[in-house]
Amino acid sequence: MSQMHPELIFVAGPQADQRIVLSSPVAELGRGSDVDILFSEEYVSRNQARYEFLQAGPTLENLSNRGTWINGKRYKAGKRVLLETGDLIGVGQETQILFVSAGDDPDTALATYRASAATGKDAFGRKARSLKQPPPLPEPLESEIAAEQDEQPDEAEAGKKRTSEMSVAERLENEQKARRKKIIIGLGIYLVAITVFAIILKVRSGSQEPPWLIPPRLTDNEIADFIREPIQRTTNQLREEEEINKAEGLYQQYGLSDTYHLYDCLVAFKEALAYSGRAYFDDPQHGLEHGRMYKAVLDKFTETIQQKYENAYFLEKAEEWEQAEKEFYDILRIYRDQSGGLFKNILAHYKRVKHFQQKSKPKKRGIWGR
């Protein structure tokens, strides 16, 4: 029976057989606490994709650097695709979803998918397995494998001539090939030895990456993922109340304008969620208000860090070392989670621009150097 709204049918993964009706024209999909459609697979990004019904029809935009697969094709972050009934969406490593457009019968679409699943390909482009696949045969013993290999002649050796069957020219050519092979192997061993020696020297001296190598640039989605990373804590109601009171106090005192205290407010909200054992604020009395505060703080802080990072990276590329150093230092002063990948990336950029900033300073001359 057809229906008024599009539908998502999970056909593989931890949520297999689950169905979701897309009654809203816009919905975010992912593993994060602020999404509309929640995935349970751990390899799915917190903000994986965005569904939106446009004038052209239903669309899906990939938001994750891990990629979103549709009918065996991987789409990068920012890519938007029109959907139609029968399209197979793949996220994470196992989750596969069948899309059914409004006006089409979901049961018919599911039956059509199952009929072709045994011979077609899955959402990731892999050869699909039969829905009723027979159990695998027992693996042969190692002794059986060895005996089977001994009985079969080596194809490479079968096509070779023996030395006694070669002409003088063939023997010379064969010896030259052997010499070239030894030289190549020797050079490979030499290069590996030099590389290992350089690594040992680097580890012993405690040196960092060469300053001419620019650390990788993080995208807005990667920065948002780092900032939204939840904190893991054991449930503790007393600590939950302490952290929520702290977060609420900072929010009331500083609002969203003081970026330095905005980070403390964000951490307090995340700590409160961690100690509550929940992914979002659902207390009937204060949960909605705390949830609005948390989202406002999270969005404002994320936007601020993204803008500052973009500006600092632009200054670094332009070799404006002094200004770039100030910008990266300002981000480090605001974002103080030293255990996260975002902090380490910013710190690497800061050390690089500081190196060139100090190198570009004019050297002071003594009285005898005039």
| CATH number, domain with residue 22 | 2.60.200.20
**For the chain, what percent of residues have pLDDT higher than 70?**
82
Q: Which of 16-20, 261-265, 273-277 has the lowest mean pLDDT?
A: 273-277
Does the residue 300 lie in any domain?
yes
- Please say if the pLDDT value at position 209 is more than 70: no
Residue, of 369 and 137, whose pLDDT is higher:
369
Q: Among positive and negative, which fits the CA dihedral 342, 343, 348, 351?
A: positive
Between strands 49-54 and 57-62, the pairing is antiparallel
Residue, of 143 and 263, whose pLDDT is higher:
263
Please tell me whether residues 186 and 236 are part of one structural domain: no
Instruction: Say what the pLDDT of residue 321 is.
Output: 92
Please tell me whether residues 252 and 183 are part of one structural domain: no
Please tell me whether residues 197 and 240 are part of one structural domain: no
**Average confidence (pLDDT) over 334-353:** 91
Please tell me whether residues 201 and 88 are part of one structural domain: no
Please tell me whether residues 272 and 339 are part of one structural domain: yes
**Average confidence (pLDDT) over 19-43:** 93
Q: Among positive and negative, which fits the CA dihedral 163, 164, 165, 166?
A: positive
pTM, whole model, 2 decimals? 0.44
Does the residue 108 lie in any domain?
yes
Could you give the CA distance from residue 67 to residue 61 in angstroms, rounded to a whole number?
10
- Please say if the pLDDT value at position 135 is more than 60: no
As a dihedral over the C-alpha atoms of residue 281, residue 292, residue 242, residue 228, rounded to 10 degrees, the angle is 80
Please tell me whether residues 198 and 240 are part of one structural domain: no
Structural tokens at position 97: 């979803």
Structural tokens at position 26: 């816009």
Contact assessment for residue 9 and residue 105, using Cβ atoms and an 8 Å cutoff: no
- Please say if the pLDDT value at position 78 is more than 60: yes
Contact assessment for residue 280 and residue 273, using Cβ atoms and an 8 Å cutoff: yes
* Listed residues 70, 87, 117: the one ending a domain: 117
Does the residue 73 lie in any domain?
yes
Does the residue 151 lie in any domain?
no
For all residues of the chain together, what is the average pLDDT? 83
Please tell me whether residues 355 and 255 are part of one structural domain: yes
Please tell me whether residues 224 and 347 are part of one structural domain: yes
Please tell me whether residues 201 and 230 are part of one structural domain: no
**Average confidence (pLDDT) over 332-347:** 91
Does the residue 231 lie in any domain?
yes
Could you give the CA distance from residue 258 to residue 244 in angstroms, rounded to a whole number?
19
Does the residue 103 lie in any domain?
yes
**For the chain, what percent of residues have pLDDT higher than 90?**
51
What is the extent of the structural domain holding 58?
7-117
Please tell me whether residues 227 and 203 are part of one structural domain: no
Does the residue 348 lie in any domain?
yes
* Listed residues 117, 139, 160: the one ending a domain: 117
pLDDT digits (tens, 9 = 90+) for 113-127: 988 877 778 889 887
The model's confidence at residue 281, banded by pLDDT at 50, 70 and 90, is confident
The model's confidence at residue 170, banded by pLDDT at 50, 70 and 90, is confident
Does the residue 14 lie in any domain?
yes
Q: Among positive and negative, which fits the CA dihedral 242, 243, 248, 251?
A: positive
The total number of residues written for the chain in this structure: 370
* Listed residues 154, 186, 207: the one ending a domain: 207
What are φ and ψ of residue 264, in 5° steps? Answer: -60, -40
Contacts of 18 (CB under 8 A, 6+ apart): 9, 10
Could you give the strand order of the β-sheet that contains 7-12, starting from the edge strand earlier in sequence?
A: 19-21, 7-12, 95-100, 88-91, 68-70, 73-75
Please tell me whether residues 246 and 317 are part of one structural domain: yes
Instruction: Say what the pLDDT of residue 15 is.
Output: 94
- Please say if the pLDDT value at position 370 is more than 90: no
- Please say if the pLDDT value at position 307 is more than 90: yes
Please tell me whether residues 180 and 72 are part of one structural domain: no
Domain count, the chain: 3
